[in-house]
Chain A
Amino acid sequence: MIAFSLFNYWIVIILMMAGFYTVIASGNLVKKIVGLNIFQTSVFIMYISMGKVIGGTAPIVTVNTELYSNPLPHVLILTAIVVGVATTALGLSLIIRIKEAYHSVEEEEILAISQQEDESE
């Protein structure tokens, strides 16, 4: 029973680690952003899992219902999603600028180019 009740959190951790792996192992900046987004979604799922009450319904008042899920995590995550897409857009626009400056979005190539520039100065 304890294993089943923690199943959600384990999925969250697997997703989080998948995102984390993408961020540190991938050299492509766009893919790093996708990895960050997966990491972010895993946190969302964790909060929403905490807010769930077994036997409860969605937190909208109706007659004949006594038990509701916790509305507070929902509020936090609702705003976090919208802020998340805004920061993603900011990251993507940074990538576009990097592409224009270095003609590459691969981390290693960018590092090589900036090293060359440092040496030539």
Chain B
Amino acid sequence: MLTVTAIAVVRFRRLFTVVMLFGIYSLLSAMIFVVLDAVDVAFTEAAVGAGISTVLMLATLVTTGRHEKPSRRHPLLPLVVVTMTGAGLIWGTFDMPGFGNPEDPVHHHVADRYVSESPKEIGIPNMVTSVLASYRGYDTMGEVIVVFTALMGVLSLIGIRPQKKQPPAPPENRTTSRPRPVLQVMAILLIPFIILFALYVQFHGDYGPGGGFQAGVIFAAAIILYTLNFGLDDAMFLTPPKVVLRLSALGVLIYAGTGVISMLRGGNYLDYNVLSQDPLLGQHLGILVIELGVGITVAAVMIAIFFAFAGRTIKHPV
């Protein structure tokens, strides 16, 4: 089914259909992740792929137009290249170990230690969180900085348009906030629960699936839902871009600052054992704090990127 959707995405020329199908594709792959035991990953993929990136692509389509023009190039050459590469890769798979075998080399380098020792060393049940935030804390900090840098790139390319300059348009001209009572009431009912759920995911990430990345994305989705229903001006009043930008930097600062604090207390950078008298408590505290940093940065970056895109599309109505 995933393959069928993917091939449909390749074939269609109407870009609106392509983007919608891509959302379905993301949701399907999230289901595959659940089947393959990766609940944290499925969570993220469903929120990011089916939610945020679809909205961003739609926002781009408003600017760029909906139809793909037929290409004059002949599709044969790419097809040959692709088939040959694929055949080569399939030939390569015959040397791979079978699927799901516990004796595979992937499961026996550092993974053994993560599985058997992390409940004792970190003291939280969700191994994904303990590897993410503690064993591989440096990596995750790098990822957060990459996300932050991407925001910088988007802002330097398109920027967030200041909204307050022009006087507010009379109600009948405001294309962005036509009264849509059903949608607006539903949004008002849903948004508090979405935010509550985001907070639950944020602080329950130690015990169940969840964590800063997912919570940040879900929180951003709540704000985006608000913007879609009530217009950009209202949303920017609710979460002013200045505050959002500061918050995105603050999240990175919290993460890096935690590392510095653990250094000041005599441990290594990002070594949470020294944060408290009891190493386990220290680990717990450290993970909670840096997950909060991750959540703040991710939410703020997603909201800011969405504002940047939405500001552009309103300026160029098609």
Helix, strand, loop or mixed for chain A's interface? helix
Known: A21-B82, A57-B37, A59-B37. A89 touches B150 (CB 8 A): yes
Contact among B45, B65, B89, B302 for A44, CB-based, below 8 A:
B45
Instruction: Say yes or no: B26 contacts A25, CB within 8 Å.
Output: no
- A10 to chain B minimum Cβ distance, whole angstroms, is 6
Q: Is B183 an interface residue (CB 8 A)?
A: no
Partner of A53, one of B78, B89, B100: B100
Q: A6, B85: Cβ atoms under 8 Å?
A: no
For B7, the closest partner residue in chain A by CB is: A18
Q: When the two chains form their complex, are residues A52 and B37 in contact, meaning their CB atoms are under 8 A apart?
A: yes
Interface presence of B309 (CB below 8 A): yes
Distance A105 CA – B101 CA, assembled complex (angstroms): 46
B64 near A58 (CB under 8 angstroms)?
A: no
Query: Dominant SS at the B interface?
Result: helix
Binds A, one of B140-148, B169-177, B185-193, B261-269: B140-148
A19 with B6: CB separation less than 8 A:
yes
CB of B55 to closest CB in A, whole Å: 10
Which of A7, A27, A56 is in CB contact (< 8 Å) with B37?
A56
Residue of B nearest to A109 (CB): B69
B119 interface contact, C-beta 8 A: yes
Expressed in whole angstroms, the Cα–Cα distance for A99 and B29 within the complex equals 31
Are A77 and B41 closer than 8 Å at their CB atoms?
Answer: yes
A-B contact count (CB 8 A): 281
How many residues on the A side are at the interface (Cβ–Cβ under 8 A)? 84
User: Out of A10, A34, A75, which one reaches B57, CB within 8 Å?
Assistant: A34
Q: Which residue of A lies closest to B142 (CB)?
A: A79
What's the minimum C-beta distance from B75 to chain A, rounded to whole angstroms? 5
Choose one: B3, B15, B19, B208; the contact of A60 (CB below 8 Å).
Answer: B208
Could you give 26 example pairs across A and B, Cβ below 8 Å?
A: A4-B99, A5-B101, A6-B98, A10-B93, A14-B3, A16-B89, A17-B85, A25-B75, A27-B69, A31-B68, A35-B10, A49-B36, A50-B104, A51-B37, A56-B102, A60-B39, A67-B102, A71-B115, A75-B131, A77-B38, A78-B40, A78-B132, A79-B132, A89-B150, A89-B309, A105-B64
7 further interface pairs, Cβ-Cβ under 8 Å (given A8-B99, A50-B104, A73-B106): A53-B102, A61-B125, A74-B38, A92-B60, A96-B64, A97-B157, A99-B63
